[in-house]
Chains A and B, each alone.
Chain A
Amino acid sequence: DAGVIQSPRHEVTEMGQEVTLRCKLISGHNSLFWYRQTMMRGLELLIYFNNNVPIDDSGMPEDRFSAKMPNASFSTLKIQPSEPRDSAVYFCASRPGGRSGELFFGEGSRLTVL
């Protein structure tokens, strides 16, 4: 099993540019979570999907952030326009249906907005 796959691993961009982060779930998992991690705020949940449907997006900072899950195995997180304060590591995690906890994390996408 390949695990959760995220891309890109690193992105450096300029303020105002659009950023798209991608995530491929583990086959058979039906819940997907996007987290953001910074030194100041730790791991923060941005949004999560269950069976491709967004369940809770209350953690999405503002309208500049959007997430989609066009099919059962793939999701994108888009930031448009990006700002320096968006610099963080963005993790995607998935979870099998029916389990009560364990998340499987991707390697993360480190975003730097200049």
Chain B
Amino acid sequence: EDKVVQSPLSLVVHEGDTVTLNCSYEVTNFRSLLWYKQEKKAPTFLFMLTSSGIEKKSGRLSSILDKKELFSILNITATQTGDSAVYLCAVLGNAGNMLTFGGGTRLMVKP
């Protein structure tokens, strides 16, 4: 059974801080890893990573994948209150073509 574990479960920081969110996985025939941001409603897509060691970047957010050690990190620099959300990591394996989600990291950024 595919498994995704995220840490920490929750995090409280102040504006301007840098945070690192972790995602480790066990999946049959790994194809890709995705990060989503969920505020009050639906998860919204951030990144998809398929290759090890290549950083994906979008503004203050960046993510990298290590396929050897089976983990990914999501970095947010110069955090803002609008970054407060649950960040979800999901992996896609060959088995069933389904995304398996981790439990999420709840980030709160205080002014």
Instruction: Classify chain A's interface size.
Output: 20 to 34
State in angstroms the CA–CA spacing of A48 and B31 once bound together. Answer: 18
CB-defined contacts of A104 to chain B, threshold 8 Å:
45
Q: Which positions 89-111 of chain B face chain A at CB distance < 8 Å? A: 92, 96-104
Check B96 against A91 for contact (C-beta < 8 Å). Answer: no
Check B31 against A101 for contact (C-beta < 8 Å). Answer: yes
State in angstroms the CA–CA spacing of A108 and B99 once bound together. Answer: 17
How far, in Å, is B98 (CB) from chain A's closest CB? 6
State in angstroms the CA–CA spacing of A100 and B91 once bound together. Answer: 10
Name A's interface SS.
Answer: strand
Closest to A91 in B: B42
- The residue in A31, A43, A44, A104 that gathers the most chain B C-beta atoms within 10 A of its C-beta is A43
Q: Which positions 69-90 of chain B face chain A at CB distance < 8 Å? A: 88
Does B41 interact with chain A (Cβ within 8 Å)? yes
Check B41 against A101 for contact (C-beta < 8 Å). Answer: no
Query: Which residues on B are within 8 Å of A, measured CB to CB?
Result: 31-32, 34, 41-45, 48, 50, 88, 92, 96-104
State in angstroms the CA–CA spacing of A31 and B101 once bound together. Answer: 17
Check B102 against A42 for contact (C-beta < 8 Å). Answer: yes
Q: Given A55-B96, A91-B42, check contact A102 B88 (CB 8 Å).
A: no
Check B92 against A100 for contact (C-beta < 8 Å). Answer: yes
State in angstroms the CA–CA spacing of A48 and B101 once bound together. Answer: 14
Closest to A105 in B: B42
Q: Given A102-B34, A107-B42, check contact A43 B88 (CB 8 Å).
A: yes
Check B92 against A101 for contact (C-beta < 8 Å). Answer: yes
Q: List 21 A-B contacts (CB under 8 A).
A: A35-B101, A42-B101, A42-B102, A43-B88, A43-B101, A44-B101, A45-B99, A48-B96, A48-B98, A55-B97, A56-B96, A91-B42, A100-B31, A100-B50, A100-B92, A101-B48, A103-B34, A105-B42, A106-B42, A107-B41, A108-B42
Check A33 against B48 for contact (C-beta < 8 Å). Answer: no
CB-defined contacts of B92 to chain A, threshold 8 Å:
100-101
How far, in Å, is B93 (CB) from chain A's closest CB? 11
